[in-house]
Amino acid sequence: MLKRRIDDPSYCFEESSQKSVEKVGSFKSRRLFENESPSIIVPRFQKGLIISTFEKDLVACASLPVTKQLKEYEILVQNEYVGLNHVDWKSKKYRFNIYSFPWVNGRECSGIVIKQGPKVDKKKFPIFSEVFLASTSYRDLKTSTFQEYTVFDSRLVWRIPQHKLPIGLVQNKFGLEFAAGIGVALVTAGSAISTIVDLTVEVQKNNDKAQNIAIWGGSSSVGLYVIQLAKACKKFDKIVIISSSKHKDYLKELGATHVIDRFQPAERILEEIADLCPEGVNYGIDVISKETATVLSKILEHGNTETKKLVCIVGLPEGTTECVRKNLKTKLIIETVNIKKFHEDIRFGSWFVSYTSKLFETDQLKPIKSLKVFKSLGSFGEGIMNGLKELEDKGASAEKFVASL
């Protein structure tokens, strides 16, 4: 396992002489250069990490088929790194979101484009371009990432952002290892905050009333991106985070205006927020549990009498009924997050990729700066299994787990 931070050196190449620079490395046994015509032989089968039954451990398999017939907008990505998420171990342990055997998990990755469908934007996604993605289409195994190759709709894929240095070099803002851990958390955060405010509409100065938002679980992967999106949209006066106080400086660096220690009694948390926001809190996003969502719902009940909105990513507040959730005449509207909207609504998904790409390019959005990289020193998938075990046993706080393939 390696630990890296986002401020470590990045790789550079000279824009004026890209054709003479070795771009990718090796595919199988031969090395490809930019001045070569991109003729890549895609194998019929690939290695992957499969779930054969709920009872048995994950096992490496070398005979998974590789999708060669791509749809109009699809690209084939050779995975370099995969992000690790709690759903990857929970779905097997608690038996959900697995619909047949053998099954391949994995919802995010980074890698190299090696094949394009006929309508793919070739300028945006040339062969060898470095990309990252979030696969929200759980039932389609070709989009899973715990395997060597992943197929996904190019309109929902990010390029690694770059910037030009004064000396004429073009530099990646971050490497593939950091990119691998962005997708799922960013899409979840975007789905949550777009439930609260319309990100497509810019703030009109002096016309829009600034409002307050409270986020419980700010040091989680999702929470870290919610904070950044909340700041970037400029629609909130106060961004109050309930989290471990040890991450206070980092959370404020990302955009939090106030950080409240989550280890205090609930009554004390309510008092602190009431002091910080005597006018009340308009919106809440809970990333942790139904218990914390319950406390957050009580926070929203205080203050002004305007309709409030609570978005729950993990569980609904205790005592919540379907009637309360959907009755728009109630003071508190409670909603859940549907991250499948990302791929089911291509218009929204492609807009979100474009929107966040601009935020990355302008440094308004950054990957989680602390990273744990799990490498496979033996059989395929060893790093994934080790990382998932640590994620289940210890969890991650203000850091991201990824594995190299």
Query: What are the extents of the domains in the chain?
Result: 2-182+367-404, 195-336
What is the pLDDT at residue 358? 97
What is the pLDDT at residue 364? 97
State which amino acid sits at residue 65.
Answer: P
Q: How far apart are CA 191 and CA 10, in angstroms?
A: 30
Q: Is the pLDDT of residue 29 over 60?
A: no
Q: How far apart are CA 188 and CA 399, in angstroms?
A: 17
Is the domain covering 2-182+367-404 a CATH 3.90.76.10 domain?
no
Buried b (16+ CB within 10 A) or exposed e, 291-304: ebbbbbbebbeebe
Buried b (16+ CB within 10 A) or exposed e, 222-252: bbbbbbbbbbbbebbebbbbbbbeebbebbe
Q: Average pLDDT of the chain?
A: 88
Dihedral angle of Cα 299, 222, 138, 126, to the nearest 10 degrees: 140
3-state SS assignment for residue 384: helix
3-state SS assignment for residue 324: helix
Mean predicted confidence (pLDDT) in 215-227 = 97
Greatest Cα pair distance, the chain, in angstroms, is: 67
Is the preceding peptide bond at 102 cis, omega within 30 degrees of 0? yes
Structure tokens at 46: 């690939």
Check: CB of residue 136 under 8 Å from CB of residue 106. Answer: no
**Better-scored residue on pLDDT, 305 or 124:** 124
Query: 334, exposed or middle or buried, with CB in 10 Å at 0-12, 13-18, 19+?
Result: buried
**Better-scored residue on pLDDT, 315 or 371:** 371
Structure tokens at 334: 């409670």
Among residues 99, 98, 100, the alpha carbon closest in space to that of 88 is found at 98
Mean predicted confidence (pLDDT) in 143-160 = 98
H/E stretch holding 310: strand 308-312
**Better-scored residue on pLDDT, 26 or 278:** 278
Q: Which fold has domain 195-336?
A: Rossmann fold (3.40.50)
**Better-scored residue on pLDDT, 379 or 357:** 357
pLDDT in tens, 163-176: 888 887 888 999 99
Q: Is the pLDDT of residue 147 over 90?
A: yes
pLDDT in tens, 326-346: 444 448 899 999 999 999 999
3-state SS assignment for residue 75: strand
Check: CB of residue 222 under 8 Å from CB of residue 185. Answer: yes
Q: How far apart are CA 264 and CA 336, in angstroms?
A: 26
pLDDT in tens, 231-288: 999 999 999 999 999 999 999 999 999 999 999 999 999 999 999 999 999 999 999 9
